[in-house]
Amino acid sequence: QVTVVEYNGIYSINMGDEVRKNVNPEEETAVYLYDHNGEQFNTNVNTNGWVSQGVYYPNTAIKRYFGLSPLEKFTRRMAWRALADQETMNLIGEKWTAETSWHDSLGLTAVTRAEDESLLVSADLKGQDASKSKGEIFCDLSQGTVDISNGKIIVTFQVPPKFAANQINGIQILVKDGQWRNQYARWTNVKQSGEWLTVELAPTTKGIDPQGWTDDNFDPSDIRRVGIKFAINDSSTDVVNTSAGDGYFKVKEINVVASNVSVPAPESKNPYKTDPTIVPAVSAQEFADNSGVSFYLSMYEKAVGVAGQSISACYDKVLALFKRLKVSSARVWLTIGSKNTSGIRYDDVTGMPLDFTNFDLAVQDVVKLVQIAKETNTKLILVLHNNDLAEHHKDVFVDPDKRAALIELDRQLLERVKSELGADWDNYVKAIEFMNEPDDANTFVYYTQEFVKAGNAMIRTLGKPVTLGPGKMENAEFWLLESMLKPGDIFQLHAYNNNKEQLLSDLRLNIGRLDVPEGVSVIYGEVQPNVGTTSIVGDVLPSAWASSASGAHLWFDNTDSPNYTVDPQVYENTINGILSGEIEMPETILEPEEIVEEEDAETPAGKKDSSDAKTGCFIKASQLTAPAVMPGGFRGIVAQFFRIITWCMDLVLKASEGAMIPQAGLDLTNRLVNAEKYVDSRGIVRADYDGIEKVAKLTANLEGKNPNREKGEAYIDLPYLMNFVGKDRMKIVLTFRAPTGLAASQMNGVQIFSKDVNWKNQYGKWKNIKQSGPWKNGKRGILSGEIEMPETIL
């Protein structure tokens, strides 16, 4: 471990006694430093263990840890620690802070210490509040960056009673790497208060497992920040306020431990066609026949084979529900094998699935469900498992024997049901879904894929089509696969967004964009039916029809949640309007549209949030950590920045071709994910990188003559300082596209700017934007030599 200190702009590294004791001060000591091209340069070393502008290691150490690698990972305080060489590292003693910089994550307000040194987290959480529905606490690691690529973070915590009362609010662990790229764990619902619970995150690259959210190029071997996020589910209006007496969130331990588990890379492919074409819509009758609702069996009683809470106990209630809904298709969760409503008995020691607690009751539950479907002329999609199975019985995903044992129990149940139902099995069970939203299962994608593949194979032995779909389309690359789906199977899309116009636009995206395996149909398996208390069924069903999907299922919680309550009369009127031709099909689209409400309306956190982990992130200049000053020969590319003064509703930016060695240039587009929050530059509210379109997208709320929002900036932080005045002069080339509202007056414009190591600015010349639509180049005109450039650009 080394310590890096700054004095008058010079960064020095003290390697400490453990390293120094191995160096003979009377002998010449070799110190090796390398730039990013692998060029070695010498540094004078004094024998008391200090080195200026570099790092001091014995030759063996620097070869072990660095070789010819870049020195990109050095910051003001940095230590290279491979987790495999460490015991458990407890982060509870680090300095923990409530995040107060992000406008959409203000639900946690302070962190204090209890007498036992555990963390007491004060909350002001408000469900469906754009600013306070979620909150985070974090610590920046005192040793700099840590390699956790072969480890995991385990958090032990308690929540206040009101947070756990509805069992749908939750927690995520988050980490940031040395370049501030994020990874969020999968969402975990918290169902108990007053007792210590644990969650964990094993950081991975995005290719191994995207987790709940992972930025492109995230590096799990270079973690600088660890955080914890608590959030209210987006369907809930729960309030947890510490000041009002609701209690604290408590965190007892945050341990980093070695896992030493090698996880195979999952199978994946690009889920989108390179040359998409519009697929014609199905007939109104086919769409109506394949549309309906998705729901649990009865309220949140969602198991089969459990006395008192299954179909047999709630037969009249479920029959009345089907009669009231009057739908052609119902996607119904059986939820076999979860914790409190299991229906499956597991060995207390080994975790091996053993049998149903009451097999005959489980059979009768499914039989009666199909009989209800027959009485109401409803076709069923049976969902066997929910992804929360991984929270309680992760072994069935990882251990092949336990996986096979659980799937065998599924097979025995369905074989018996099929035998008892006879022709009704063929007529009223349309398809079987092995597990709901597998991308949200809290285990590595590879293991989830193996689990689902084995389950799908079992389903096919019963002569039924398989259906599956991820909760988030950004994870479709792992599920829209030939190995998962065969001819006759059904791929599902799930669509949620509290921005109604954005939801309708997304629904109209034609399925011709998708690289669907031959012979596989596409349906909407879940669609949000309301925004608040306002039904949007009359809009979402025609929009889903426009996509050419074969049908759409509205999500129906059958609870007091307004977002997920279906009005049967509105549903019936809409379907009848589609069938009669009174309701016309909207125009389908092939390219996604970005639609922004007047006020920034982030989807509150929770089960149905498809973009929660990546929103609202920005870094102020005061928060940035500068790397050590590099010698003049160190080359690179400056940050690309963006400034607009106008009013508009959205903005799409594409950045490319910053010149450097190699001659082809360096594309920094995927780094443009920061929106500046200076009080006079708040016109850009969000910046995201679209990995499918390979463009950065800026969401704006710009308004002329508004001192806070007449301009906005988005920026990139470089991984290291860059020299722009060497023999190879460089320029920044920005390729962008402006919306109609920006170009209409031909007076609004764009600037590129850069900051040096002392945060001094230089702005390029103002460029008026006179056209919308086509891609334009905004070239930096200040690198011609007529204007003196600083040595380095940050």
Sequence spans of domains, the chain: 3-71, 89-258, 284-580, 618-793
Could you tell me the pLDDT band of residue 561, with boundaries at 50, 70 and 90?
A: low
Cis geometry, peptide bond prior to residue 568 (ω within 30 degrees of 0): no
Q: What is the pLDDT of residue 604?
A: 32
* Confidence label for 605 from pLDDT (cuts 50, 70 and 90): very low
How confident is the model at residue 6, as a pLDDT? 46
The yes-or-no verdict on residue 618 having pLDDT over 90 is no
For 408, the 3-state DSSP assignment is helix
Residue type, 48: N
Q: How far is CA 3 from CA 6, 205, 757, in A?
A: 10, 28, 21
Of 102-116, 278-292, 487-501, 746-760, minimum mean pLDDT range: 746-760
Same fold, 89-258 and 284-580: no
Provide mean pLDDT across the span 267-290: 95
pLDDT, residue 378, reads 98
d(CA 783, CA 638) in angstroms, rounded, equals 11
- Pairwise CA distance, residues 448 & 396, whole Å: 10
The pLDDT value given to residue 729 = 56
The pLDDT score that the predictor gives to residue 64 is 28
Nearest to 522 by CA among 483, 479, 469: 469
Question: Looking at residue 628, what is its pLDDT?
Answer: 26
Distance of CA 274 to the CA centre of its chain: 24
773-791 residue pLDDT tens: 666 554 333 332 233 333 4
Environment class of 690 (CB within 10 Å of its CB; exposed 0-12, middle 13-18, buried 19+): middle
Burial (CB < 10 A; 0-12, 13-18, 19+), residue 23, is: middle
pLDDT in the model for residue 462 = 96
Least trusted range by pLDDT, from 114-118, 483-487, 691-695: 691-695
Is the domain 284-580 a CATH 3.30.70.1350 member? Answer: no
Please determine, for residue 72, whether its predicted confidence score (pLDDT) is greater than 60. no
Q: How far apart are CA 701 and CA 687, in angstroms?
A: 12
Say whether 359 sits in a helix, a strand or coil: helix
- Tell me the C-alpha distance between 228 and 139, whole Å: 9
CATH superfamily, region 89-258: Galactose-binding domain-like (2.60.120.260)
User: 129-181, pLDDT tens digit by residue?
Assistant: 889 999 999 998 876 788 888 889 999 999 999 999 988 899 999 999 988 89
What pLDDT was estimated at residue 639? 29
Percentage of the chain surpassing pLDDT 70?
A: 71
pLDDT band at residue 699 under the 50/70/90 scheme: confident
Please provide the DSSP assignment of 328-351 as one string.
SEEEEE--TT-STT--EEE-TTT-
The angle subtended at Cα 153 by Cα 477 and Cα 71, nearest 5°, is: 80
The set of residues, in sequence order, having a beta carbon less than 8 Å from that of 515 and lying 6+ positions away, is: 269, 270, 271, 272, 273, 480
Q: In the structure encoding, which two tokens stand for residue 444, read together? A: 């590595």
Is residue 8 over pLDDT 60?
no
Which tops the pLDDT comparison, 627 or 715? 715
What integer best gives the mean pLDDT of the chain?
Answer: 77
Which pLDDT belongs to residue 46? 39
Residue 353 predicted with pLDDT over 80? yes
Global pTM reads: 0.62
Give the pLDDT band (50/70/90) at residue 559: low
**Rounded distance, CA 62 to CA 40, Å?**
12
Per-residue pLDDT, 300: 43
Q: For tokens 């498992």, what's the residue? A: 385
d(CA 578, CA 538): 10
pLDDT band at 641 (very low <50, low <70, confident <90, very high): very low
Residue 445: pLDDT over 50: yes
Q: What is 105-145 written as a DSSP string?
A: -BSEEEEEE-TTS-EEEEEEEETT-TTTSEEEEEEE-TTS-
Residue-wise pLDDT for 743-783, tens only, equals 778 788 888 888 876 677 888 888 888 877 666 554 333 33
The mean pLDDT value for 334-361 works out to: 82
- Say whether pLDDT at 646 is over 80: no
pLDDT of amino acid 516: 97
pLDDT above 80 (res 649) = no
Tokens of 321: 């529900």
